[in-house]
Amino acid sequence: MKYGAVLLAIIISLPLMTMQPQGDASSPSTFYVGGSGAGNYTTIQDAIDAASDGDTIYVYPGTYKENVVADKGVNIIGVNATIDGGKAGDTVLITANHTSISGFLIENSSSTGAGIVIEAGHIEIHECTIENNFYGIYTDCHNCHINISHNNFINNSHNAWDSGGNTWDDGAKGNYWDDYKGNDEDMDGIGDSPYPVEGGTGQDNYPLIYPYGLPVAIFMYTPDGLEIKFDGSFSVDYNGVIENYTWNLGDGNVSYGEEVNHTYNGSGIYEVTLTVKDNNGKTDVSTQDVIVDIEAPSTSCNFMPEQANGDNGWYISNVWLNFNASDSLSGIDYTKYKIDGNSWKIYDGNAFIREDGNHSIQYYSADKYGNAESIKHVSVKIDKTAPYTTVEPHENESVWYKADTLVSLEGHDNTSGIYATNYRINGGVFVQYNQEIDVTSEGINVIDYYSKDNAGNAEKLKSVEIKIDKTNPAMDVKAPKKSYLYLMGREIIPLSGFNNFAIVIGSTNVNVDVRDSISGVKKVEFYVDNSLKETLSEPPYVWNWNEVAVGPYTLKAVAYDNAGNKVSTEIPVMVLNIQY
């Protein structure tokens, strides 16, 4: 990794590259590792062994496969240099106070070792990348004035271990940790919460969100129709100042500045690239697909079931609504719908209609840029309820009718309306009801009927019995018979010459036989000279007449059937009954 401070030091030291400087006890010396200078050391350890406390060791670019022991208080500066521990032990072990290390990639400790082990105090570790170790940095030196900042910890089993009391940031910036879990809500490149270091109470109070060493190009954009505002102020440079922002706007135009506004010719996806350059000459590039969208989305509404499952375009079940919205650019933000006069709802994938009726559905979608389509309309007809039919005889509402009877049927349906009412009589063929049904047959007539609505719903079959009896009952008089003599209720002999009178002495039984094969006998009434004396509702129809009576009388029996038909007969009698 390149660092401005290290390069400046190298430039200052160029006149010394051809000669190994000789120091003395009173003035620090500078030693060189790698490079092409005469007398330069080939290993870092050789330079440390030759140096004294306070000396500086510059390490030129390259990979140095060795395990370094810093047992002298020296300042070790790397320039794109790597110390590779070869997976054996610790890559770097610091045992001398006042040692500093910067500008290195330090990697490949053993499976239990560390990239850097610190066993001394007043140690500075800066601008290093420490990766692929078991421990990145390990120190069990408590409150030893160790300062570790501006480093990158990457892909270590444990990034760091510190028993506590040491410093892991410079008061404004700390280190980059690849396992940091915090957030950066204000997008300033510094984590909002500390990074806890294993081992004790140590923590990095200002963890870096991005690796240290290069600028990081970051930009946001805000759309307003065809005009887009680009903001590069979120870019980060931990060890420099960004001096140049160059925008390739994806449509052939280039602009400069931390913030720029640009108006595009039309909707589309434009590949926009921001290139940042800092005061150290370092650059970074960020590219995003920028969406320009002034086109409204499009939404369709489908039903489930897809087709009407009833007749005449009616549904006879619940209907689920499926809104399919599409937007090829910014994407769908929401879809709204409302049913009939209800309020608008956001479609969440679960919309349905249960209620019967002819429903109006309105809907539309908006995309993430605020473009909304015009409100669309669709309707759906639902009728899940079967109709019902009322029946009404036009005569009277008694059980039996004694004349031809008109029957009317009326279908009722509150939603789709009646398609047809059908009926049949006595198990015959169903026919459509168009006018009153004239029932003329005597006996029990069974009318089966049902109605069907326009949606195809049919009610369950219903029946009504129309009972007709137009025939009077039949009645025979068994006693007293005309032209017979009765004594105390017993038939004695036939008589002649009494003008069809029955002669009755004492009490007598008035006995009639009544029959009705259709509606049945309801009652029989017995009269004497039109005065009602007895009513019988069950056979035998026998009434014992026993009251004081002398002279001619007229007995009468009136029989009724259940339809109200009646028959009567009169029996003239000559009576002598003085014992009551």
Q: Is residue 209 part of a domain?
A: no
Q: Which residue range(s) make up the domain with 34?
A: 4-204
Q: What angle do CA 297, 299, 302 make, to 5 degrees?
A: 165
Q: Is the Cβ–Cβ distance between 75 and 96 less than 8 Å?
A: no
* Of 204, 236, 256, the domain-final residue: 204
pLDDT band at 12 (very low <50, low <70, confident <90, very high): very low
Q: Is the Cβ–Cβ distance between 210 and 236 less than 8 Å?
A: yes
Q: What pLDDT score was predicted for residue 580? A: 60
State percent of the chain over pLDDT 90.
91
> Which neighbouring-strand residues pair with 259?
231
Q: Is the Cβ–Cβ distance between 366 and 374 less than 8 Å?
A: no
Rounded to an integer, the average pLDDT of 33-40 is: 93
CA Rg value for the chain: 58
* Of 258, 292, 326, the domain-final residue: 292
* Statement to judge: residues 84 and 157 lie in one domain: yes
Q: What pLDDT score was predicted for residue 303? A: 97
Q: Is residue 33 part of a domain?
A: yes
Q: Is the Cβ–Cβ distance between 555 and 531 less than 8 Å?
A: no
The pLDDT tens digits of the residues spanning 410-419 come to 999 999 999 9
pLDDT band at 237 (very low <50, low <70, confident <90, very high): very high
Q: What pLDDT score was predicted for residue 524? A: 98
pLDDT band at 19 (very low <50, low <70, confident <90, very high): very low
DSSP symbol at 16: G
Number of domains in the chain: 5
- Tell me the CATH number at 302: 2.60.40.10
Q: Is residue 553 part of a domain?
A: yes
Q: Is residue 491 part of a domain?
A: yes
* Statement to judge: residues 456 and 486 lie in one domain: no
State percent of the chain over pLDDT 70.
94
Q: Is residue 213 part of a domain?
A: no
Complete DSSP assignment for 38-86: TT-BSSHHHHHHH--TT-EEEE-SEEEES-EEE-S--EEEEEEEEEE-T
* Statement to judge: residues 162 and 74 lie in one domain: yes
Of the candidates 76, 1, 23, 7, which has an alpha carbon nearest to the alpha carbon of residue 46? 76
Please compute, for residue 70, the number of CA atoms within 13 A of its CA located in the half-sphere on the CB side. 31
pLDDT band at 4 (very low <50, low <70, confident <90, very high): very low
3-class DSSP state of 9: helix
- How far apart CA 177 and CA 156 sit, in angstroms, is 10
* Statement to judge: residues 9 and 152 lie in one domain: yes
- How far apart CA 2 and CA 214 sit, in angstroms, is 9
Q: Is the Cβ–Cβ distance between 281 and 214 less than 8 Å?
A: no
Check whether the bond before 305 is cis (ω within 30° of 0). yes
Compute the Cα dihedral for 169, 173, 179, 185 and give only its sign: positive
Q: What pLDDT score was predicted for residue 377? A: 97
Please name the residues in contact with 309: beta carbons below 8 A apart, sequence gap of 6 or more.
315, 316, 317
Q: What pLDDT score was predicted for residue 23? A: 42
Residue 342 has pLDDT above 60, yes or no: yes
Q: What angle do CA 291, 296, 301 make, to 5 degrees?
A: 125
* Of 350, 382, 414, the domain-final residue: 382
* Statement to judge: residues 150 and 276 lie in one domain: no
Q: What pLDDT score was predicted for residue 17? A: 37
Q: What pLDDT score was predicted for residue 570? A: 95
Q: Which amino acid is at 39?
A: G
Q: Is residue 215 part of a domain?
A: no
Which residue bears the tokens 């620090």? Answer: 28
Q: What pLDDT score was predicted for residue 5? A: 37
pLDDT band at 173 (very low <50, low <70, confident <90, very high): very high
The pLDDT tens digits of the residues spanning 200-218 come to 999 999 999 999 999 999 9
Compute the Cα dihedral for 542, 547, 552, 557 and give only its sign: negative
Q: What pLDDT score was predicted for residue 399? A: 84
Q: Is the Cβ–Cβ distance between 561 and 488 less than 8 Å?
A: no
Residue 7 has pLDDT above 50, yes or no: no
* Statement to judge: residues 86 and 188 lie in one domain: yes
Q: Is the Cβ–Cβ distance between 121 and 144 less than 8 Å?
A: yes
CA 555 from centre of chain: 89
* Statement to judge: residues 269 and 189 lie in one domain: no
Residue 404 has pLDDT above 50, yes or no: yes
Q: Is residue 212 part of a domain?
A: no
Q: Is the Cβ–Cβ distance between 136 and 179 less than 8 Å?
A: no
pLDDT band at 551 (very low <50, low <70, confident <90, very high): very high
Q: Is the Cβ–Cβ distance between 325 and 304 less than 8 Å?
A: no
Range name among 176-180, 183-187, 576-580 with the lowest pLDDT average = 576-580
Count of Cβ atoms closer than 10 Å to residue 384 Cβ: 17
Please name the residues in contact with 46: beta carbons below 8 A apart, sequence gap of 6 or more.
33
> Which neighbouring-strand residues pair with 121?
none
* Statement to judge: residues 112 and 172 lie in one domain: yes
Count of Cβ atoms closer than 10 Å to residue 254 Cβ: 10
Rounded to an integer, the average pLDDT of 39-63 is: 97
3-class DSSP state of 14: helix
pLDDT band at 500 (very low <50, low <70, confident <90, very high): confident
Strand pairing report for 462-468 and 68-70: unpaired
In whole numbers, what is the pLDDT of the chain averaged over residues? 93
Residue 21 has pLDDT above 60, yes or no: no
* Statement to judge: residues 406 and 521 lie in one domain: no
- Tell me the residue length of the chain: 580
pTM of the model: 0.65
* Statement to judge: residues 75 and 190 lie in one domain: yes
Q: Is residue 454 part of a domain?
A: yes
pLDDT band at 393 (very low <50, low <70, confident <90, very high): confident
* Statement to judge: residues 373 and 398 lie in one domain: no
Range name among 360-364, 421-425, 499-503 with the lowest pLDDT average = 499-503
Check whether the bond before 194 is cis (ω within 30° of 0). no
* Statement to judge: residues 370 and 401 lie in one domain: no
The pLDDT tens digits of the residues spanning 299-334 come to 999 999 999 999 999 999 999 999 999 999 999 999
Compute the Cα dihedral for 239, 240, 241, 242 and give only its sign: negative
> Which neighbouring-strand residues pair with 435?
none
